[in-house]
RNA sequence: AGGCGCGUAGCUCAGUUGGUUAGAGCGCACGACUGAUAAUCGUGAGGUCGGCAGUUCAAAUCUGCCCGUGCCUACCA
């Protein structure tokens, strides 16, 4: 008996079914390196229109997490897909290198070695920070590249390159020269332990036990009659702020009473006969805490009536002699306290705003950098704000200033590094004005808001979010009292306090930074920058460094504008949605303040990565998914697939099951590629290819589908909607190809003569499909696509990433055919259901053992004219009867025996015969044998 | 506590201006094939569309409240 398997044209390919990605991907990376893919692509697209996705710099201080992976993969998919559109999508990755976290790491190392940071020369300290950043930058670069991210890894940007530092300084110079950089002061979060101001992001909240006091302020001048001798009572958890008290606040609509104490407990500080004023809602509470047993109401009043009253500081007799006005504030509540809020303008943003900004009350300096109360202050001078609150309370009680002392455990800000409590402290700071008071009419805020109006947001809601933030934010405080960063390159006059605005000085500073880095600010004498026109004795050199958000906010200046291979504004900034407050925000302000427009045309935000249950990832929950591990076990392409199969505008989830699902999707696409590669083995378009008009209708339908998908892919690429692209490609592979077209054409492909029109048409179409498919998935499955491309073309000097999306001919479009075949498939689906029923009845096994008789409406029957229903349904035979009414399908066992080559049944072949073959196969076998 | 989002089958997602029994793919179950074979094909079971209350002839879709959840702020005397 002849083995006809040898005569069947089965798919043949080297492209393995299993990806083995963890091993394969590094090989493909090596191929790219050998090709010098990045540079080659740049050279080839030199004259193409640019597409600039500007990289928001990650912070160089640790290994990558899944959020980094999401971010960079999305950027890469966008860049590669724009490149597939023919653009020059040059991607320059960058890193944010300055800032507290790195600084702190170095300090930590010092502490371990028992060294004191303050004893290390600043230049040396900064060098260590620089080395630390360089190390992590390198680690992250390797990890990013392993994700398949294509970019200028040899020459990335960093905020700590000398050129960057000098341009950052130059940018600050612009704010200096245009008058919007000013010296002010404000209460800032201050860590007495680290002797530095902290950014709000550098603060975390934890429980803290505070000494609380109820302090009494003698009413000196009251708008309300009959309150002679009364005291207003405040409650505070920070007794150390009492020397800084300059006012108190009450709520306009809150009900208060003056109460004459009639009875007190044994240890009460209050005395019988005292008259105290409190909010009614808090009376019981205060009595309980201060040991007051009972009191008579002397007077009732509303907060509004008390406004304008003048009280005396509880320690007035000891030297705190200033007046304490009573102000109205809408933030006063009766949740706790007394209904009167003590206001220390130097020790709280709300206090500052109310007392200083709104009422012009001077802000005293009462606390030093180390948290020690100024020596010259009576009673409390030299005491520490964190350690001596109990003493402060005792002294005040002794002097008759209190009616109660207590304790409270509450949530309190702590330094995120030292975990020590922090305080608000007034400090001199440099600000960029949001321009509300700008004489030129249009301030920075207005410019920025206008710029947002002409920016595209993906998703659209980002516009609202950023707009609201810009509209409400206060002036930008640029100062950081730190060491690792770009110094604010400013001198101000010792006597007038006026900053020196001289472009020549700025230029000298910028030039010096460019040459030797901004360390020179700390190592060279001021005279070098001031030049001969100014005497350094007259000026103070600012030693603050700039907020790191200013560094990254200036990347458009030192990257986009500085590099010839990029341009500004960028087409797109893309980051996590937290960057509304961060990079999108600071970049916008920096650019609007210096150039009058945004540095981006579009802003795309993605969500955060959560676990499978939608919880945030945390070490304690044990639900952290490390990208390194996914790559190691599944491959980077799986991670890339995960990104595009998620709705990345919203939060994304990842976990074992989700990764499993992605692997399933991957296998489907990979197998489709493999089948196409195998089916098309040895295909030569010039010899074998056919023109569409010579093809069967089914082939022309597939070509039509390619034009439809092509349209979707291009449109969705423009709108960065890869989820839609992936879904459609997957469904195409799954539904149109594997379950339909491939299945039907197996017979043609395996058994028909290579010279037959049918087989040639099929192979021609499959070749087109393959080219489309590889190019469509290339931005997403960047490794697998190239692996397939290699298997297809076999050219070691090529890569799919050097090509554009395949371009199906416009002429292939045929919507009528699309509709017609949709109807045919609906009928086919009815038939497969009927076949399944017959199979379950044991009537048939494979569909080739069936013969079907389909009675259907004349309309439906007309659709099948000229088509072979049996081959469409993969049965051995079929009869179509044009009738009326509902479709009826009859399934019978096909007559005759099975052709030993094509496995179809024929009545001419005797049953139980396993060697005969059908006429078609006979012809083909003979023909092949003759060759 | 405030601002901006999200909540549709086990998983990832579609559901256009409110309009017939809410869709797809994966997974799952069952079956077929053994010439895509750690593949491939078929059939099927899964959803009170987060909850409640409204508007409407009609709501996954509009409104309000609530619950859960994410980011960003504020967590204060």
Burial class (CB in 10 A: 0-12, 13-18, 19+), A134: middle
Is the CB of A657 less than 7 A from some atom of nucleic acid strand B?
yes
DSSP H or E run through A210 = strand A203-221
Model ipTM?
0.95
Structure tokens at A928: 């092949």
Instruction: Supply the pLDDT for residue A600.
Output: 97
Helix, coil or strand: residue A330: coil
* CA distance linking residue A883 with residue A854, whole number of Å: 10
Beta bridge partners of A340: A250
* CA distance linking residue A250 with residue A233, whole number of Å: 11
Nearest nucleotide relative to A10: CA against C1': B35
Instruction: Supply the pLDDT for residue A408.
Output: 83
Burial string for A667-683 (b: 16+ CB within 10 Å, else e) reads: eebbebbbbbbbbbeeb
* CA distance linking residue A390 with residue A406, whole number of Å: 10
Instruction: Supply the pLDDT for residue A439.
Output: 45
The gap between A335 CA and B53 C1' (Å) is 32
Bases in strand B with any atom closer than 7 Å to a protein CB = 3-6, 10-14, 24-27, 31-44, 69-77
Comparing every residue's Cα with the C1' atom of nucleotide B69, the nearest one is A614
Helices A66-84 and A122-146, axial angle in degrees (round to 10): 60
Instruction: Supply the pLDDT for residue A365.
Output: 85
Low-confidence ranges of chain A (pLDDT < 50): 437-439
Is the CB of A41 less than 7 A from some atom of nucleic acid strand B?
no
Is the CB of A610 less than 7 A from some atom of nucleic acid strand B?
yes
Cβ-Cβ contacts under 8 Å for A294 (sequence gap 6 or more): A261, A262, A263
| Cα-based distances in Å from A872 to A193, A743, A847, A895 | 80, 9, 11, 19
Dihedral of the CA atoms A39, A41, A42, A45 (nearest 10)? 160
Quick check: A71 and A173 in contact, CB under 8 A? no
Cβ-Cβ contacts under 8 Å for A448 (sequence gap 6 or more): A470, A588, A589, A592, A598
* CA distance linking residue A188 with residue A196, whole number of Å: 10
Helix, coil or strand: residue A30: helix
Q: Cα A699 to the chain's mean position, in Å?
A: 44
Is the CB of A645 less than 7 A from some atom of nucleic acid strand B?
yes
DSSP labels, A61-74: SS---HHHHHHHHH
Structure tokens at A770: 């393959």
Cβ-Cβ contacts under 8 Å for A832 (sequence gap 6 or more): A847, A873
Quick check: A181 and A432 in contact, CB under 8 A? yes
pLDDT digits (tens, 9 = 90+) for A469-479: 999 888 898 99
Rg, chain A, Cα only: 39
Beta bridge partners of A279: A256
Nearest nucleotide relative to A11: CA against C1': B36
The gap between A473 CA and B2 C1' (Å) is 15
Helices A782-793 and A656-679, axial angle in degrees (round to 10): 10
Is the CB of A4 less than 7 A from some atom of nucleic acid strand B?
yes
Helix, coil or strand: residue A915: coil
Structure tokens at A231: 């005291």
Burial string for A374-388 (b: 16+ CB within 10 Å, else e) reads: eeebebbeebbbbeb
Cβ-Cβ contacts under 8 Å for A805 (sequence gap 6 or more): A84, A85, A710, A713, A714, A717, A772, A775, A776
* CA distance linking residue A568 with residue A73, whole number of Å: 23
Structure tokens at A380: 């409390």
Instruction: Supply the pLDDT for residue A436.
Output: 57
Structure tokens at A656: 């074992």
Instruction: Supply the pLDDT for residue A930.
Output: 55
Strand order in the sheet with A877-883: A877-883, A850-857, A888-893
Is the CB of A722 less than 7 A from some atom of nucleic acid strand B?
no
| Cα-based distances in Å from A336 to A270, A390, A506, A562, A723 | 19, 21, 52, 56, 51
DSSP labels, A848-883: GGEEEEEEEEHHHHHHTTTS-HHHHHT-SEEEEEEE
Q: Locate tokens 């000013």: which residue? A: A182
* CA distance linking residue A482 with residue A412, whole number of Å: 23
Is the CB of A337 less than 7 A from some atom of nucleic acid strand B?
yes
Structure tokens at A862: 């007309």
* CA distance linking residue A374 with residue A388, whole number of Å: 14
Comparing every residue's Cα with the C1' atom of nucleotide B31, the nearest one is A840
Burial string for A517-537 (b: 16+ CB within 10 Å, else e) reads: bbbbbbeeeeeebbeeebeee
Is the CB of A737 less than 7 A from some atom of nucleic acid strand B?
yes
> What predicted TM-score, i.e. pTM, was given to this entire model?
0.89
> Which residues 798-857 of chain A have a CB under 7 Å from nucleic chain B?
829, 832-833, 835-836, 839-840, 845-847
Structure tokens at A38: 């990045």
Q: Are strands A323-328 and A247-250 parallel, antiparallel or unpaired?
A: parallel
Comparing every residue's Cα with the C1' atom of nucleotide B68, the nearest one is A614
Is the CB of A918 less than 7 A from some atom of nucleic acid strand B?
no
DSSP H or E run through A560 = none
Within 10 angstroms of residue A122's Cβ, the number of other Cβ atoms is 16
| Cα-based distances in Å from A743 to A381, A671, A737, A847 | 90, 14, 8, 12
Is the CB of A750 less than 7 A from some atom of nucleic acid strand B?
yes
* CA distance linking residue A389 with residue A412, whole number of Å: 15
DSSP labels, A253-304: T-EEEEEEEEEE-TT-SS-TT-EEEEEGGGHHHHHHHHTEEEEEEEEEEEHH
The gap between A461 CA and B62 C1' (Å) is 20
Comparing every residue's Cα with the C1' atom of nucleotide B41, the nearest one is A739
Structure tokens at A321: 């002699």
Cβ-Cβ contacts under 8 Å for A595 (sequence gap 6 or more): none
Helix and strand element counts for chain A (H, E):
31, 31
Quick check: A711 and A808 in contact, CB under 8 A? no
């Amino acid at each position: 008996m002849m083995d006809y398997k040898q005569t069947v044209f089965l798919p043949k390919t080297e492209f393995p079914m299993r990806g083995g990605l963890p091993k394969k991907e590094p090989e493909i990376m090596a191929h790219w390196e050998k090709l010098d893919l990045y540079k080659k692509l740049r050279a080839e697209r030199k004259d193409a229109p640019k597409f600039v996705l500007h990289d928001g710099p990650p912070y160089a201080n640790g290994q990558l997490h899944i959020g980094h992976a999401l971010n960079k993969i999305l950027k890469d998919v966008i860049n590669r897909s724009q490149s597939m559109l023919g653009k020059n999508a040059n991607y320059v990755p960058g890193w944010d290198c300055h800032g507290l976290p790195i600084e702190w790491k170095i300090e930590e190392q010092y502490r371990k070695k028992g060294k004191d940071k303050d004893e290390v020369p600043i230049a040396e300290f900064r060098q260590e920070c620089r080395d630390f950043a360089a190390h992590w930058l390198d680690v992250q670069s390797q990890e990013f590249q392993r994700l398949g991210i294509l970019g200028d890894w040899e020459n990335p940007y960093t905020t700590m390159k000398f050129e960057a530092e000098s341009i950052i300084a130059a940018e600050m110079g612009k704010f200096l020269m245009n008058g919007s950089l000013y010296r002010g002061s404000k209460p800032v979060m201050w860590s007495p332990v680290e002797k530095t101001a902290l950014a709000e992001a550098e603060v975390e909240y934890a429980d803290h036990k505070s000494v609380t006091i109820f302090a009494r302020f003698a009413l000196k001048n009251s708008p309300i009659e009959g309150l002679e001798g009364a005291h207003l009572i405040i409650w505070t958890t920070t007794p150390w702020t009492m020397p800084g008290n300059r006012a108190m606040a009450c709520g306009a609509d809150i009900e208060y009473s003056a109460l004459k104490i009639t009875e007190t407990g044994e240890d009460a500080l209050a005395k019988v006969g005292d008259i105290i004023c409190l909010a009614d809602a808090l009376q019981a509470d205060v009595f309980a805490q201060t040991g007051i047993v009972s009191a008579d109401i002397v007077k009732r009043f509303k907060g509004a009536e008390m406004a304008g009253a003048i009280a005396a500081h509880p320690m007035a007799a000891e030297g705190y002699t200033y007046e304490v006005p009573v102000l109205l504030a809408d933030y006063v509540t009766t949740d706790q306290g007394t209904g009167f809020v003590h206001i220390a303008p130097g020790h709280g943003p709300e206090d500052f705003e109310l007392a200083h900004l709104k009422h012009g009350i001077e802000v005293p300096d009462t606390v030093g950098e180390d948290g020690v109360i100024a020596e010259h202050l009576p009673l409390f001078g030299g005491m520490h704000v964190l350690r001596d609150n109990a003493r402060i309370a005792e002294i005040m009680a002794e002097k008759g200033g209190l009616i109660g002392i207590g304790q409270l455990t509450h949530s309190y800000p702590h330094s995120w590094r030292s975990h020590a409590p922090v305080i608000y402290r007034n400090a001199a700071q440099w600000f960029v004005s949001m321009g509300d008071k700008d004489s030129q009419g249009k301030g920075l805020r207005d410019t920025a808001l206008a710029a947002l109006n002409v920016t595209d947001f993906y998703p659209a809601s980002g516009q609202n979010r950023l707009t609201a933030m810009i509209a409400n934010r206060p002036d930008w405080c640029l100062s950081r009292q730190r060491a690792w960063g770009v110094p604010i390159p400013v001198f101000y006059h010792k006597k007038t306090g006026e900053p020196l605005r001289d472009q020549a000085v700025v230029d000298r500073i910028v030039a010096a930074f460019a040459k030797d880095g901004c360390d020179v600010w700390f190592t060279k004498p001021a005279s070098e920058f001031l030049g001969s026109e100014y005497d350094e004795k007259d000026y103070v050199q600012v030693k603050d460094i700039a907020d790191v958000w200013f560094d990254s906010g200036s990347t458009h200046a030192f990257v986009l504008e500085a590099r010839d291979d990029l341009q500004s504004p960028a087409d797109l900034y893309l980051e996590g949605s937290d960057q509304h407050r961060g990079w999108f925000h600071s970049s916008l302000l920096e650019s609007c303040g210096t150039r009058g427009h945004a540095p981006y045309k579009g802003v795309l935000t993605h969500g955060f990565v959560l676990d499978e249950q939608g919880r945030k990832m945390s070490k304690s929950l044990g639900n952290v998914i490390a990208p390194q591990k996914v790559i190691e076990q599944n491959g980077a392409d799986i991670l890339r697939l995960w990104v595009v199969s998620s709705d990345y505008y919203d939060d994304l989830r990842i976990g074992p099951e989700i990764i499993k699902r992605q692997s399933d999707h991957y296998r489907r696409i990979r197998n489709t590629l493999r089948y196409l590669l195998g089916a098309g083995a040895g295909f030569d378009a010039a010899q074998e290819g056919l023109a569409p008009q010579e093809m069967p209708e089914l082939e022309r339908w597939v070509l039509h589908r390619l034009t439809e998908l092509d349209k979707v892919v291009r449109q969705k690429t423009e709108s960065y909607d890869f989820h839609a692209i992936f879904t459609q490609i997957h469904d195409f592979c799954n539904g149109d190809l594997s379950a339909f077209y491939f299945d039907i054409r197996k017979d043609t492909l395996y058994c028909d003569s290579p010279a037959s029109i049918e087989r040639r048409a099929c192979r021609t179409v499959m070749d087109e499909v393959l080219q489309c498919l590889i190019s469509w998935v290339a931005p997403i499955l960047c490794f697998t696509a190239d692996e397939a491309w290699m298997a297809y073309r076999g050219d070691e000097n090529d890569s799919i990433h050097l090509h554009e999306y395949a371009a199906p001919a416009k002429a292939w479009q045929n919507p009528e055919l699309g509709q017609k075949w949709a109807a045919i498939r609906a009928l086919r689906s009815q038939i497969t259901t009927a076949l399944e029923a017959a199979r379950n009845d044991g009537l048939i096994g494979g569909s080739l053992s069936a013969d079907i008789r389909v009675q259907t409406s004349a309309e439906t029957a007309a659709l099948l004219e000229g088509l072979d229903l049996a081959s469409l349904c993969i049965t051995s035979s079929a009869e179509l009867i044009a009738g009326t009414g509902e479709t009826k399908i009859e399934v019978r066992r096909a007559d005759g025996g099975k052709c030993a080559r094509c496995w179809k049944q024929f009545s001419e072949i005797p049953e139980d015969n396993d060697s005969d073959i059908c006429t078609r196969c006979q012809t083909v076998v003979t023909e092949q044998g003759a060759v």
